[in-house]
Amino acid sequence: MNTLQGKKIVLGVTGSIAAYKACTLIRLLVKAGCEVQCVITPSGKEFVTPLTLSTLTRKPCISDFFSRREGSWNSHVELGLWADAMVVAPCTASTLGKMAHGIADNMLITTYLSMKAPVFIAPAMDLDMYAHPATQDNIELLKKRGNLFIEPREGELASQLVGKGRMEEPEEIVARLQDFFYPHRRLSGKRVMITAGPTFESIDPVRFLGNHSSGKMGISLASVCVKEGAEVELIVGPVSMPLPQSPHIYVTRVTSAKDLEKACDAIFPKCDVGILCAAVADYTPAEVFDEKLKREGNELTITFKPTTDIAAKLGKTKRNDQQLVGFALETTDECAHAKDKMQRKNLDFIVLNSLRDKGAGFGVDTNKISIIQSDGTVKEFPLKAKEDVACDIINHLCEQSGFSS
Ligand code: PMT
C-alpha cells in the first residue's frame, strides 16, 4: 500500500558525503507521489548542487534566507505549515547540534524550528563523531522532543573506517515514511504474541524431526501488527529468513515444541492477542539419543510421544480480555477439521490453509486462506502475497474485537 501519495515533504540536506543519496531519496519520494521541497545548508552545497536537487524535485532548492535576484525572502514559516513531514537526510553532527540547541544560522534550521509536521532525522557521520557523548546527548534531547530517528547503519564510512555512522539507505527511509503514514493504527497500545516457523525435535545430536515452515506467514503478521501500532512478541522457531528489524518487535528464538510452550506460557499472559502460526510438532521422540544413531539392521524404530497442544493449553487459561487465533494446515476435509480444532482449542477464530491449494501453505510467498469464525461462518479469500493475507487476518481480528484507531 502506497501511503505517500500526495504527501508534502521538506527534505533537509546537509554537508555530508551521503548527500549524494539525497538524489535517490528524492527520486523514490517523487515516484511514490510526494511533492518534495529541498532545503540545503551552505556546506551541503559543497557535496551536491542545488541545481541537481531542483531538477529532481521540479522546485527551486532553497538555501538562503533571501532570493537576491527576485528581492524576496524564503518563508521558513510557510514551509513549516506546508509540510506533512520533514526529513533531514543526511544529517551531520553539526546540524544535529544546531537542531538540539536552536542555533538558527541557516535556512534548514529556521525551517526546522518552524516545523509543525513530524521530523525524521537520518544521521550520517564518522563512527567516533556518532559515538561521542556530545552527539549522543543531542540525539537523546531531540528524541525526547519527539523527533524520529532513522538510525545509521554499521559499515564502511567515507573515512574508510568501519563502524556505525552510514546513513540509512534511501529505500529504507522511504519505507519508514510509508509505515509512519499507514492510516489505521488500530492495534495501538496492544501487545500481540505471534508464533512463527517450524519446531525441530531432536532425535540424536545430529538428526531432528522438523517440517517445511519457513516462518514467512508469521513474520508477515508481525510486520502488519507493527504497522497497526502494536508491540509484537515474535516467538520464532528455526528459520533462515531475516527477521524484521523494529524496536516494536521483541524476538524470542526457540527450537523445539517444549521451548515454544515455555515461551508462550511466559509471554501470553501479558498479551492482548495470541496468533499461533507456528507449525508445531505434534510428536517428539520419547528418548533423545546421546550419541549419533548408527546404521544397523534393516529397520529403525523410534518411539514418539505427544507434545503439549499449546493452543489448547492457552485456550484453557485465556482471559475474557484476550483473543486467541489459531491456524489449521489441512490436506483433507479441511473445513471440518479446522472447525473441530477451533472448538477444541477454544480459539476466537481459525485461519485455514490447505496444501491442496496451489501456492498455499509452506515455504511459498503466497497463501490462500479461509477464516472460520466462532459461529461457524466461513470467509474465503483468494490467493495473495503473504503480506496481504496478513492484512486480511489483522483486519478480521480488528473488526471482530472492536479494535479501532
Ligand atoms: O511458515 P510458512 O512457510 O509461511 O508457512 C505458513 C504455515 C503453513 C506454517 C501457516 O500458515 C500454518 O498453517 N501454520 C499452522 C500449521 C500447523 O501446525 O497447523 P495444525 O493444524 O497442525 O495446528 C493447529 C493449530 O494448533 C496451530 O495454530 C498450531 O500452531 C497449534 N498447535 C499445533 C500443535 C501443537 N503441539 N501445539 C499447537 O499449539
| pLDDT of res. 68 | 62
| pLDDT of res. 390 | 97
Residue 76 lies in a domain: yes
Tell me which of 128-132, 181-185, 263-267, 304-308 is least confident. 181-185
> For the residues 338-357, what does the mean pLDDT come to?
97
Same domain (yes/no): 142, 253: no
CATH number at residue 107: 3.40.50.1950
Distance between Cα 280 and ligand 1 center (Å): 6
Same domain (yes/no): 34, 82: yes
| pLDDT of res. 185 | 86
Greater confidence (64 vs 320) lies with 320
**For 21-51, what is each residue's pLDDT tens digit?**
999 999 999 999 999 999 999 999 999 999 9
Residue 2 lies in a domain: no
> For the residues 347-356, what does the mean pLDDT come to?
97
Same domain (yes/no): 149, 228: no
Same domain (yes/no): 285, 376: yes
Residue 311 lies in a domain: yes
Nearest to 115 by CA among 136, 139, 142: 142
Domain count of the fold of the chain? 2
CATH number at residue 266: 3.40.50.10300
Residue 287 CB less than 6 A away from ligand 1: no
Answer yes or no: is pLDDT of 147 > 90: yes
Residue 230 lies in a domain: yes
Same domain (yes/no): 175, 218: no
Same domain (yes/no): 26, 95: yes
Residue 256 CB less than 6 A away from ligand 1: no
The residue whose CB lies within 8 Å of the most ligand 1 atoms, and thus the one to mutate among 195, 200, 213, is 213
Distance between Cα 353 and ligand 1 center (Å): 10
DSSP characters over 32-92: TT-EEEEEE-TTGGGTS-HHHHHHHHTSPPB-SSEETTTTEE--HHHHHHH-SEEEEEEE-
Same domain (yes/no): 82, 100: yes
**For 388-398, what is each residue's pLDDT tens digit?**
999 999 999 99
Ligand 1 atom closest to residue 313's alpha carbon, by position in its atom list: 39
Residue 361 CB less than 6 A away from ligand 1: yes
Distance (Å, whole) CA 340 – CA 346: 10
Q: Share the mean pLDDT of the chain.
A: 94
Phi, psi of 6 (to 5 degrees): 80, 5
User: Of 181, 205, 228, at which residue does a domain stop?
Assistant: 181
Distance between Cα 396 and ligand 1 center (Å): 19
Question: Cell triple for residue 354?
Answer: 490447505
Same domain (yes/no): 294, 356: yes
| pLDDT of res. 365 | 96
**For 224-255, what is each residue's pLDDT tens digit?**
999 899 999 999 999 999 998 788 999 999 99
User: Of 160, 181, 202, at which residue does a domain stop?
Assistant: 181
**For 91-127, what is each residue's pLDDT tens digit?**
999 999 999 999 999 999 999 999 999 999 999 999 9
Report, as residue numbers or ranges, the catalytic residues: 211
Residue 186 lies in a domain: no
Answer yes or no: is pLDDT of 379 > 90: yes
Pair 282, 306: CB distance under 8 Å: yes
> For the residues 187-215, what does the mean pLDDT come to?
97
Same domain (yes/no): 166, 196: no
Residue 3 lies in a domain: no
Same domain (yes/no): 125, 237: no
Nearest to 167 by CA among 181, 179, 176, 154: 154
Residue 1 lies in a domain: no
Answer yes or no: is pLDDT of 405 > 80: no
Residue type, 398: C
**For 45-94, what is each residue's pLDDT tens digit?**
999 999 999 999 999 999 988 766 666 667 778 899 999 999 999 999 99
Pair 264, 195: CB distance under 8 Å: yes
| Structural domain boundaries enclosing 88 | 8-181
% of the chain surpassing 90 pLDDT: 88
Sign, Cα dihedral of 241, 246, 247, 250: negative
